[in-house]
Structure 1
Amino acid sequence: MTPDDTGTAAWAQTRIDYLEKLGDELVNRGFRVRITVPRGQPPSLHVMNPDASALTENILVEAGAEGWWYWWSWAERIATADDVMGAADRVARVLAVS
């Protein structure tokens, strides 16, 4: 797929597949997750630390010339979408109780 395919169902499903992989890893680490699919916007993964419900984040996944990447809601890259463990490590560190 190329970035030109952004409006297709296959493109949306690819995003969801990547978000599910990250979500599964974060659930295994004790986080609560849910995928949201707002109308007219790309899907995202809502992640919450159950020990501190104020510690939440919405993770996006987007494709570009360098492949698929997980992104923070503030438009900073987390890790490549193929590096689920690395992405989960970063998310866990950011949402950790200090």
Structure 2
Amino acid sequence: MTPDGMEPATPTKSRIEYLEELGEELVARGFRVRLTLPRGQSPALHVANPDASALTENILVEQAADGWWFWWSWSERITLADDTAGAADRVASVLAARP
């Protein structure tokens, strides 16, 4: 219980469910994804641009004071975890191969 007597917020989905949904969005956009479950660490979604092997990223989902968020591996927020399409847009933009 929190100091104000309220139950702490819990995600409506598990971390893995959030990452799986994001993975589905990214696969539909042509990216390769793999859910990783490192021992002793939070699960992550490894995303790769199949047209540019150097363009990869590990996406996390973690709770902040204002809700559950997708995060870049460099500890910057992407979008709220409930905004799967918005997160996929941002990830796709960052991992896009540019001529």
Normalised by the length of structure 2, the TM-score is: 0.86
Name structure 1 gaps, 5 residues minimum. 6-10
Deviation at 1:48, TM superposition (A): 0.1
Helix, strand or coil: the match of 1:16? helix
Query: Who is 1:53 aligned against?
Result: 53
Structure 2 residue runs of 5 or longer lacking an equivalent are: 1-6
**Deviation >2 Å, runs of 4+:** none
| Whole-angstrom distance in 2 between the partners of 1:64 and 1:91 | 20
Amino acid at match of 1:63: Q
Matches within 5 A, 1:6-85: 14-85=14-85
Larger Rg: 2
Q: Which has the higher strand share?
A: 1
**Aligned residues with identical type, % of pairs:** 69
Deviation at 1:2, TM superposition (A): 3.8
What residue identity is the alignment partner of 1:16?
Answer: I
Matched residue count: 91
Distance between the aligned counterparts of 1:73 and 1:65, measured in 2? 19
SS in structure 1 opposite 2:40?
A: coil
Task: Tell me the equivalent position of 2:4.
Answer: none
Q: Distance in 2 between matches of 1:65 and 1:74?
A: 19
TM-score, normalised to structure 1, is 0.87
- d(CA) in 2 for partners of 1:78 and 1:53? 22
Rounded Cα–Cα distance in structure 1 between residues aligned with 2:30 and 2:16: 20
